[in-house]
Amino acid sequence: MQLAGKYVLHAAPPKVWAALMNPDTLAHIVPGISRLEKTGDHTFNSILDIKLGPVSGSFTGNLQLDDLQEPNAFTLKAQQNSKIGNANAAVKINLSPIGDSDTEIAFDGDVKISGMLASLGQRVMGGVSNTLTKQFFSNLEKELAKTSAS
């Protein structure tokens, strides 16, 4: 499944970059995340609880931030396993400045899913991913607002 979209955040790229690279922030803003454990400079183990229409499951696996070009771009790689199916994603993320204080985040990638996730959840995958991405960015927005207020 293709995963692509754009989102505008009210903060400059370096600030957005810092937030995205901070495991504590990520643990707050990733929807459904119940555990995020740093295993290397840019690798994490994670547990995510996600509901996809008729199927829901707890995904365990790893996240990796790759091809880091601070503060412009990186690739998020995820290998997540669950009883309802496995997901394998590679998403390229670009940060471009808009004026002085805003950033446009563009993401584009591919998610491969298998098992029940594919056979039962595929129909709602698009919708659920949209909701989750929106949630992620609105959480990120709130997080950025908090840090600028403090």
**Rounded to the nearest whole angstrom, what is the least distance from the CB of residue 61 to another protein in the complex?**
13
- Nearer Cβ to another protein (6/83): 83
**Rounded to the nearest whole angstrom, what is the least distance from the CB of residue 74 to another protein in the complex?**
25
- Where does this chain bind another protein (CB under 8 A)? 53-54, 83, 85-86, 112-116, 118-120, 122-123
Q: Report the alpha-carbon distance of residue 105 to residue 5 in Å, rounded.
A: 8
- Nearer Cβ to another protein (116/132): 116
**Rounded to the nearest whole angstrom, what is the least distance from the CB of residue 119 to another protein in the complex?**
4
Answer for the pair 10, 101: CB distance below 8 angstroms, yes or no.
yes
State phi, psi for 116 to the nearest 5 degrees: -60, -35
- Nearer Cβ to another protein (79/147): 79
Answer for the pair 32, 50: CB distance below 8 angstroms, yes or no.
yes
Q: Report the alpha-carbon distance of residue 74 to residue 68 in Å, rounded.
A: 5
